[in-house]
Structure 1
C-alpha cells in the first residue's frame, strides 16, 4: 500500500541527486536568471549553467526553455520547485544544526512590496527580524506590480489589494489613509481648492501607466476626468511625492509618509479621504517552512503595530 505520509517518488528521485545541482535549480527559480542566481551563490554564470544542464541530463528532461532573455522555467520545473526547495531548506537546516543552533530558522525568504511601503515600513520591520534571526537571508523585490505567489515569484507579499489567488494565505493587517497634498509654495501661487470639482483647475500629480489605484479612487468620486489633466505623471510613488514637494502640483500621498511635515498641506481633508486595506500574503508552503513562518509572523505583527 502506498504510504501517503512518506516522501513522494519525485522527492526521492531529487534526494538522490547532487545537492549542489538542487541548490543551483532552486536559486535560478528564486532569482529568475542565471546571472542573479550565480551572484547569490557566489559562482560564475558558466559554472551555474553547467550545473543546470547536468541536472536536466540526470532527470532526462529539460527544465528551462532557452529564450533570448535567458532561461524560462517550463511546467516541469514549476512542478518540481516545491520539492527542490524543501530539500534545499533541509540542507540549510542541517548545516545550521551542525554549525550552530539546530532550532534556528535559516535560509532565504523573498518578499515583494511597493516602494513606499517596502522602504519606509517593511525594511524597518525586517531590521528587527535580522537581529533576532541572523541566519535568515532576505530578498526584497520592490515593485508596484503584483508578483505571482503561487508561481513563487515571491514567498511573502505586502499589498494594498485583496488576494486574487484562492490558495494563498492572507491576513488584513491595517489601513493606510491617502489624502491630497500640496506644498505651501504651490498654494501661495495657485490658491487652495475649495471643492473636489475645483481640482480640475489645478495642476495635478498622478500615475503614468499604472492607473489602477488612483483612477479607481477618482472614479468613485465622479472625477474620472482628472487623470487626463495630470501635469506630472510617474508610476513611482517617491517621484510623485517629490513632485508635490517641489511645488509642481497637488497629488495623493499616504498620510503616514508626511506626518507633522511643515512643508506640505493637506487639501480638502474632509472631501478627499481614502483608506486602503493592507494585506500580508504568503505562499501555502509557509505553513511547513519555519523560516517563512517566522518572517510572515514578524511582518504581520509589525504592520499591525504600525497601522493599528
Structure 2
C-alpha cells in the first residue's frame, strides 16, 4: 500500500511523529514510554493523534505488542529520516556552541556511575559551576548518534566513523569474596580449589563462565546458583557472603569488607574508552568535559 496525500496540507507534529518512531522501534507502548520518559497514556494519545491527523492506521495489536501496518511501515522510513535529520541539526548546533555553561549528559555503567563518577563530577562542578550534569546509568551502550548521551564511558572501542574515542587504559577484573566465605572454601590457593565454590553470574550468555574457565577454573553451570544483570546487586551479594563475584580491581580493592580470591590469579582485562560524537569536538563545553574526564579516569 502506498500512502498518497498532500504532505503540505498536513499539520505535522514532530512530537507525535517521534512517539510513533520510538513505539515502532521498541515494539510496544510501554517500552516506548519508558524510553521517552513519559506515561503510557500520554504516548498512546500522541500516536492516536498522528493516526487521526494522517487518516491512516499505523499499528495492529499482536498479543501484548504492536506490529506496523503497511501504511505504518511506509511512514516509518520517512519519520526515521526526519529523526536522523533532527539529530544532525541538534549536533551541529551544539557543536558550534562556544559557551562553557550548559548541560552535558554522560553515560556510564552502574558501577562506574556509582563509584567512579561522583567524586569526579563534584570536582568538575567546583571548577565549572555553570555546567549542569546529567548522568545516564546503563549497562548497555548509549547511542551517541541519537543524542542519548554526549559522552560515554565504554569497555569497547566504537566502530562508527562519526564517533571519536580515547582509550583511558585497561581495567583488571578480579574475583572477590568476604573473608568468611574464603575461609569456608579452605583458603584456596589455586584455580582447582574453586571447583565447589559458588559464583554470581552476570549474564545469560555464558560469557562470564567461559572467561573464568580460560584462567583454569573449570567451572560448570552448577557453580552459578545466583544470577543478576546488575553489578550493584552482585556486589551487595558478595558483601553479604553469598558467593564470589567479579569486579574492576580499582573498585574491589577499595572495599574493606571483601578480599581478593586467589590474589595471584591472572585478571580478566578489558579496555576503558571515552567516547563522544565527532561533531561535538567543536563545542568548548563538550571538549572541556571530555578532556577533564579523560585525565581523571586515566589508568596507568
Q: Could you tell me the TM-score, scaled by structure 1's length?
A: 0.67
Aligned equivalent of 1:189, options 184, 187, 192: 184
Q: CA deviation at 1:173?
A: 0.5
Instruction: Please report how far the alpha carbon of residue 279 of structure 1 lies from its aligned counterpart in structure 2 after TM superposition.
Output: 0.9
C-alpha distance in 2, partners of 1:128/1:71?
A: 48
Q: 2:226 aligns with which of 229, 232, 235?
A: 232
Identify the residue that residue 246 of structure 2 maps to in structure 1. 252
Cα deviation for residue 191 of structure 1 reads 1.3
Identify if the C-alpha distance between structure 1 residues 163 and 233 changes in structure 2 by more than 3 Å, giving closer, same or farther: same
Q: Distance in 1 between matches of 2:169 and 2:76?
A: 37
Counterpart of 1:221 in structure 2 is 215
**Matched residues in 1 for 2:162 and 2:91: separation?**
22
Provide the rounded CA distance (Å) in 2 between the counterparts of 1:29 and 1:123: 34
Residues in 2 aligned to 1:156 and 1:287: alpha-carbon distance in whole angstroms: 11
Q: Mind listing any 5+ residue stretches in structure 2 that lack a counterpart?
A: 1-10, 27-31, 69-74
Segments of 5+ residues of structure 1 without an aligned counterpart are 1-17
The answer as to whether partners of 2:172 and 2:268 remain within 8 angstroms in 1 is: yes
Alignment check: 8 A CA contact 1:180 1:252 kept: yes
Q: Is residue 38–residue 45 contact of structure 1 (8 Å, CA) maintained in 2?
A: no
Aligned CA distance change for structure 1 residues 27 and 169 (closer, same or farther; 3 Å)? farther
Secondary structure of the structure 1 residue equivalent to 2:134: strand
In 2, Cα distance between the equivalents of 1:290 and 1:184? 48
The question of whether the paired residues in 1 share the 8 Å contact of 2:253 and 2:260 is answered with: no
Matched, 1:142 2:138: yes
Aligned to 2:78: 76
Residue number in structure 2 paired with 1:268: 262
User: How many residues are paired up?
Assistant: 275
1:119 match: 114
SS of 1:201's equivalent? coil
Contact 1:207 1:235 in 2 (8 A): yes
Q: 1:230 and 1:197, CA in 2 relative to 1: closer, same or farther beyond 3 A?
A: same
1:303 aligns with 2:293: no
Give the TM-score taking structure 2 as reference length: 0.68
Report how far residue 196 of structure 1 moved. Answer: 0.8
